[in-house]
């Protein structure tokens, strides 16, 4: 992907732009987000090893 997005990008032509929040790819990687990611990965591994997988979509 090209950043910043160009004027021709279809995301800029949506019908309800007030419902769209565009961030750069780096926006997710705050310290808190990375800490949460590591905790979730550890929890998922523990759950798998215990035979009780979590976060299932039913």
pLDDT on residue 16: 92
CA distance 10 to 30: 28
Q: Where are the domains of the chain?
A: 10-50
Whether pLDDT at 1 is above 70? no
Answer left, alpha or beta for residue 24, where phi above 0 means left and psi between -120 and 50 means alpha.
beta
The pLDDT assigned to 30 comes to 85
- pLDDT for res 3: 73
Classify burial at 45, counting beta carbons within 10 Å of its beta carbon; exposed 0-12, middle 13-18, buried 19 or more.
exposed
The structure tokens listed for 8 are 């021709």
pLDDT tens for each residue of 14-50: 999 899 887 777 767 889 989 999 999 999 999 999 9
pLDDT at 55: 75
């Amino acid at each position: 992907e090209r950043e910043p997005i160009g004027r021709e990008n279809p995301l800029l032509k949506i019908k309800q732009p007030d419902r769209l929040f565009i961030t750069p790819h780096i926006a997710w990687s705050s310290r808190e987000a990375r800490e949460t990611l590591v905790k979730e990965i550890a929890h998922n591994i523990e759950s798998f090893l215990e035979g009780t997988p979590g976060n299932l979509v039913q």
